[in-house]
Structure 1
């Protein structure tokens, strides 16, 4: 084979063996999730925070500097998910229950969820923002600090998307490093979720894009968990 020729791609196909349906990728995902759940459970919240302390310090510093250089200006991106067979009301009721105290269910929805719960400051989240591990809070629903949501370009008609939640994302020192606007509207056979996140304009575009992927993974898995709980 000459230098200017490329090798054909290597493919592997499962012909027989395991009982039940599923691809090799499905098997790998199952085992990866099981291993991750074991490590999270064995370590516990505080050990995870201790393990990630340096990453969190660097990630929060990145977000703080992005907020400073952006001078209060944000850029937005939206992930849209369509669900069949489940209403938005059923899903949001499950979410309310999970955020009230089922951290395990919240963490299980994404490999890069490390902490989700409430402390004296508010609803705490430790997760990846792009490549950066960040420790931030969500809050401010219905307060003057969220006047931005009333004029957001991404705001959808109340008649079609009556269930809305907006939040600032802020560090423990109060620095606002992002925003979130999530909107749900029922359809004939399910619901549509419009999930918008805002980051400081000086954040690299790939940070925003990765969070749109993050949204897709976590909300899909929360929706699937809701359906499983209902069954």
Structure 2
């Protein structure tokens, strides 16, 4: 897929990072994700080429094989998620993106479209740590590595339910992509509240994931880079498609 790189700026914590830094993180995570599933990493190349090569590796293996290879990880992560029942408190991972050009409404419509259509290539391509992203029994099944976690997690996101989210809506952001994350037994374990608004220069995206309190802080902090990577790539893909 041919896309034009945008000068997207990421604000992570108190620091601001250019697109090049996020792309360098993505390049590094391709190698880590390949090791995670016991697959050869794509050869050194421009990041756009490595991204496509890594997507093909995941597609060739297929969802069932990826789920099988990561079953031990997801069993461990599932046990940790069940501990979340002990507390309704959450840890929050937040990243702000500032996108030159585009439209908040058009982007959220585009993203909803690829999610509902279960466009697995568009969903998997966005981050090396995405292994399975598809609509499954009415919710989005997600198998991914969160931040720098040592294990991959398997969960569902229900975009029709926001009842257990603890993050309030910011009225300055009129567009949202949000939903509850549930563990294998249906227990709410967190969720997403991604909010978007138009600016004089383009789009301001405030990306937020709620994790169970039991998730270590180092994972929550590391996931801010995951958010910067996936949404910057999705914004570029939306612009390339003419939708944003």
TM-score by length of 1: 0.78
**Structure 1 contact 164–183 (Cα < 8 Å) conserved:** yes
> Quick one: structure 1 residues 88 and 57, their matched pair in 2 at CA, closer, same or farther if it must change by over 3 Å?
same
Partner of 1:95: 111
Q: Which residue does the alignment assign to 1:171? A: 183
Q: Distance in 1 between matches of 2:210 and 2:240?
A: 31
Match 1:111 to one of 108, 128, 133: 128
Question: Which residue of the partner structure matches residue 78 of structure 2?
Answer: 60
The answer to whether the aligner puts 1:80 opposite 2:100 as a matched pair is no
Other-structure match for 1:29: 47
Q: TM-score, normalised by structure 2?
A: 0.74
Partners of 1:127 and 1:135 within 8 A in 2? yes
Count the aligned residue pairs. Answer: 199
Deviation at 1:86, TM superposition (A): 0.7
Deviations 1:173-229 (A, max 9, x none): 012221211111111221111111111223211111122111110000000111111
Picking from 209, 215, 222, the partner of 1:203 is 215
2:57 is aligned to: 39
1:92 Cα deviation from its structure 2 partner: 1.5
Shift of 1:31: 4.4
1:93, 1:162 → 2: CA distance? 13
RMSD: 2.3
Asked if the contact 1:141–1:165 (Cα under 8 Å) also holds between the matched residues in 2, the reply is: no
Gaps of 5+ in 1: 1-22
Matching of residue 141 in structure 1 with residue 140 in structure 2: no
CA contact (8 A) 2:108 2:177 kept: no
1:64 deviation in Å?
2.2
Q: CA deviation at 1:35?
A: 3.0
Residue 236 of structure 2 corresponds to: 224
